[in-house]
Amino acid sequence: MDREIKKILKPIKLLGVLVLVSAVVFYVLGHVEDRNVSLLQCLYMVAITISTAGYEDPLHCTESTLLMTFTICMIFLYMVVVAYAISNFTAFLVEGRIKKYFQLKTFLKRIKKMDQHYIICGIKDIGVFAAKELEDTKRSFVVVEQDTNAIASLHQEIPSLVWLEGDATDDNVLEQAGIKRAKAIIAAMDDDKENLYLVLAAKELNPSIEIAAKFNSPKARKKLAAAGAKHLVCPYRIGGLRIASELLRPQVVSFLDGMMRSTQDAGVRIEDLTVPEGSSFVGQTLKNLYDKTGVLVISYRWEQSQQLIYNPKGETEIKGGMHLIFIASAEQRVGLEKALGV
């Protein structure tokens, strides 16, 4: 059960237990005072006392010092418990926790329907840009972040954002994010130690998951790689290369920037995928692929080779296990995935 609901139910459960205990105590004290009272009468006495209804006293407590003392104690105790219950419920409403509760339930339902999705942990810096790129290329993803302000800021830019507010290193949160069905996870938190712990936790929960991790210290790179992170990015290194590229090859940078920043329907990306062995396109040519999908293959390589073949001829035969690198819009990429049976 959700933690927030437990906070509300806790004082209610306490109140229910106190009602039953008080009724039993009244019953015992009534018989100590040689009064013939039933348990139902005692329960009725408790109910009219804590509700301040003020009906007739069925136990005639005013005639017994013992019963009057217990009633006084009971009244003050219930005042405290009721005040605690009301304050919890009021905080739940005023602080917007009830909205968050139902929002979380909606997100969890959406996440359960996701498969081969991406999980982004940390959106205070590079995680933001990763989320925008996944959104622009129409890939499903979940954001895990503790900072409410960071989530609110990204939500303004991506209205359809699905997020979990919590600690990304918590196994329960990762399981809620659907890590066992996820294709990849991005460790983009501020601290290298947190990212390292996240990589270890992710690999334990899903050994086959692909991991991309951010690192600041060169020492952290080896540890992250050893833990299972396949793709490692240092923001400082990327920033340095970008500055140098701006000076050395400004037109290339401008071309790639225009491609990456385009959010129009015609906006394109350089993408890649692997042709499945049983694809209907196996045995056909790259020209056939272009004619049917509009996707332009600019390079390819075989699974057992790291060497890329650039500007392939249209007559090149498509084979299973062939890694294609191509230029396509998000819609074209989705269409190609369906056509190839990926």
Verify that 195 and 305 share a domain, yes or no. Answer: no
Domain co-membership, 110 together with 219:
yes
- Strand 296-302 relative to strand 322-329, pairing: antiparallel
Query: What angle separates helix 97-112 from helix 65-94, to the nearest 10 degrees?
Result: 60
Same domain, 231 and 277: no
Neighbours of 20 (CB within 10 A): 12
Amino acid at 5: I
Assign 55 to helix, strand or coil: coil
**Domain of residue 7, CATH code:** 1.10.287
State the residue range of the domain holding 222. Answer: 101-239
Q: Tell me, what's the pLDDT at 49? A: 80
CATH of the domain at 179: 3.40.50.720
Handedness of CA 209, 171, 125, 331 (dihedral sign): positive
Domains in the chain: how many in total? 3
The structure tokens listed for 279 are 């694809």
Residue 282 lies in a domain: yes
In eight-state DSSP terms, residue 285 is B
103-122 tens-digit pLDDT: 888 899 999 999 999 999 99
Same-domain pairing of 280 and 322: yes
Q: Are residues 228 and 106 in the same domain?
A: yes
Task: Give yes or no for residue 1 having a pLDDT over 50.
Answer: no
What is the band of 44 on the pLDDT scale with cuts at 50, 70, 90? confident
Strand order across the beta sheet in which 309-310 lies: 268-274, 322-329, 296-302, 309-310
Domain shared by 202 and 312, yes or no: no
Select from 42, 65, 95 the last residue of a domain: 95
User: What predicted TM-score, i.e. pTM, was given to this entire model?
Assistant: 0.62
Q: How far is Cα 224 from Cα 198, in angstroms, rounded to an integer? A: 10
289, 296 Cβ separation under 8 angstroms: no
pLDDT score recorded for residue 208: 93
The reply to whether 66 and 171 lie within a common domain is no
Residue 323 has a pLDDT of 92
pLDDT of 25: 87
- Which has the minimum average pLDDT: 9-23, 39-53, 251-265, 275-289? 251-265
pLDDT of 212-252, one tens digit each? 999 988 889 999 999 999 999 998 888 888 889 888 888 88
- Amino acid sitting at position 54: G
> With contact defined as beta carbons under 8 Å apart, do 119 and 189 qualify?
no
Query: Could you tell me if 43 and 145 lie in one domain?
Result: no
Cα Rg of the chain, angstroms: 32
Q: Where are the alpha helices (DSSP H) in 182-269?
A: 192-205, 218-227, 235-248, 250-261
**In whole angstroms, what is the distance from residue 242 CA to residue 74 CA?**
72
- Is there a domain that residue 24 lies in? yes
